[in-house]
Amino acid sequence: MRHFDIKPTAGPLVDQLQRKIDAKTKPLGALGQLEALALQLGLIQQRDNPQLNKPQMLVFAGDHGAAKAGVSAYPQDVTWQMVENFLAGGAAINVFTRTYGLPLAVVDCGVAHDFGQRDGLIDHKIAPGTANYLEAPAMSVEQCTQAMDNGQRLVARYAALGSNVIGLGEMGIGNTASASLITHCLTGQPLADCVGRGTGLDDAGLTRKQQLLHQAMTRTGVITDPLEALRQFGGFEIATMVGVILAAAERHIVVLIDGFVVGAAALVAARIHPAARDYCVYCHRSAEAGHRLQLAAMNAVPLLDLGLRLGEGTGVALAWPLLQAAAAFLNEMASFASAGVSEKI
């Protein structure tokens, strides 16, 4: 993996931006979390008038070898079937991106299906699914590196088109199990606390999922190295998103993080390069059990808490208007001085 030159966003601009926010015609702090978001956007772009240019929503899809062992309530074929649904415009993420005018593309990182050339589909397939991590590492070192490199190429592609905001979503039957294992390894929290119902497991299914993930951890032992945790338990879609996050942070691009699975990619990226955390906007708090542990480990405050657990990037699309509002108030709202309004005594 190449070295990333990612700089922390904190610096002299913090005070300048905070003064600008505080000078708006409102009581101090009255716009709550929107003020923190405006500050973050300015710091990411290193300017006091951040612009959100050509946002791009990407859904990363990949299959997992462990899915056939029963870690999900759904069969593995649902991954490719849902990709077809995305391409046909029928999924929740399609509805929400259309509602808010967000361009959407699907990235095939490793789906066990041949789609051929399709409008709206980017082919970055590494292999037709990862290996079964109950028996062997999910990826080879070379596959993991290739997936991350693909993520970097995606960032370069959209940056060349003028995009400075990239939203991340995912699809992959079994990928909440991967996210649970990665979260356990990189936060040190008990495995049972990191495992949730995913796509809707009943109590018996949840118990089986926990047993299988315990089996996976028995094979490897505790892993604290982020790249090794990713290689052992991740999916091609998760590894590709890690590459996107690191490359976007290097270019001062805003990265919009969805829920639990995208959060696992963000956790890996931040463990590789802590400054990458500064460039991530956490769009919502997932109902999936381990997501709260991820957020706590990243010291992240999500924008929304709607009980979502769908994935696809739906939380990103729903939070997008809040980013627009944060940038707009910072750039367009009058100050006390410009409006001739008296300040607090």
**Residues belonging to the active site:** 312
Selection from 143, 155, 334, 159 nearest residue 239 by Cα: 143
What is the β-pairing status of strands 165-171 and 121-123? unpaired
The SS3 of residue 42 is helix
Give exposure, 239-249, as e/b (b: 16+ Cβ within 10 Å).
bbbbbbbbbbb
Cβ 216 vs Cβ 276: under 8 Å: no
Give the neighbor-by-neighbor strand order of the sheet with 165-171: 121-123, 104-110, 56-62, 165-171, 254-257, 280-282
Residues in the chain: 345
Structure tokens at 112: 């066990």
| Separation between Cα atoms, residue 223 and residue 185, nearest integer Å | 6
| Separation between Cα atoms, residue 287 and residue 235, nearest integer Å | 21
70, 79, 134, 270 from 76: Cα distances, Å? 10, 6, 16, 30
Structure tokens at 117: 């050339």
Selection from 299, 291, 69, 293 nearest residue 190 by Cα: 293
| Separation between Cα atoms, residue 278 and residue 273, nearest integer Å | 10
